[in-house]
Amino acid sequence: MFVLAMALASCLGLKRTEWALLLLVSALVLAAELINTAIERAVDLACGGELHPLAKLAKDTASGAVLVCAAAAAAVGIIIMGPPLWRLLVT
């Protein structure tokens, strides 16, 4: 998805600040994914393979954080790329 967003941004001729914002929110999502993976691995190690309700809660919460970051990144992408894309499609 990142590559597709960057390719679209390249075609739209965005300004430097818009590029910076897109890269920042993309990095935020990637960082959230890495933290989520670390939390899941640590919980798996601590639980020794058993399913515990608190382990599930920790994993679900970390996954929810990734979802929040991804939704924010999508909103920023729409705000930045929506108007120029609309102009390109309408004209």
54-83 pLDDT, tens digit each: 999 999 999 999 999 999 999 999 999 999
Q: Which residue has the tokens 């935020």?
A: 28
Mean pLDDT of the chain: 94
The answer on pLDDT for 49 being more than 80 is no
What integer is the mean pLDDT of 5-31?
Answer: 94
pTM of the model: 0.87
Domain positions in the chain: 25-82
- State the Cα–Cα distance between residues 54 and 42, nearest whole angstrom: 13
Active-site positions read 33
- State the Cα–Cα distance between residues 4 and 63, nearest whole angstrom: 23
> Degrees (nearest 5) of the Cα angle 53, 56, 59?
150
